[in-house]
Amino acid sequence: MRVLLKATLDTEKGNEAIRSGKMPELLKEILDQIKPEAAYFGPLGGRRTALLVLDMKDSSDLPSTGEPFFTQFNAEVEVTPVMNGEDLQNGLAKLR
């Protein structure tokens, strides 16, 4: 199932990662592990946020997907099912 993972980083943990120069390395490790279809980064609600779209094959993938953000950045993590246009069209066709 395609999901949107929103990771809102703890400000102090993010500051530490930036000051130490480890932010790029930590994010690369996480992205290499999770392998998202798309990854976007920016401030949401005044906090550093990562938005990742990924295909979660099984719900048992959830811990290994969110845990790096918890452990490295003390982040708040939300996972929401999402669809692309083709998925939406297929879903709507089932309503008939």
pLDDT band at 96; cut points 50, 70, 90: confident
pLDDT at 29: 96
What pairs with residue 51 in β-bridges? 6, 40
Largest CA distance in the chain: 56
pLDDT at 55: 93
Residue 71 has pLDDT above 90, yes or no: yes
What pairs with residue 47 in β-bridges? 44
Q: Which of 63, 60, 68, 2 is nearest to 50 (CA)?
A: 68
Return the residue matching tokens 């946020």: 49
pLDDT tens digits for range 37-56: 999 999 999 999 999 999 99
Amino acid occupying residue 88:
L
Averaged over 57-71, what is the pLDDT?
94
pLDDT tens digits for range 16-30: 999 999 999 999 999
Q: Which of 16, 3, 32 is nearest to 72 (CA)?
A: 16
Are 9 and 73 spatial neighbours (Cβ–Cβ below 8 Å)?
yes
Phi and psi torsions of 43, nearest 5°: -85, 125
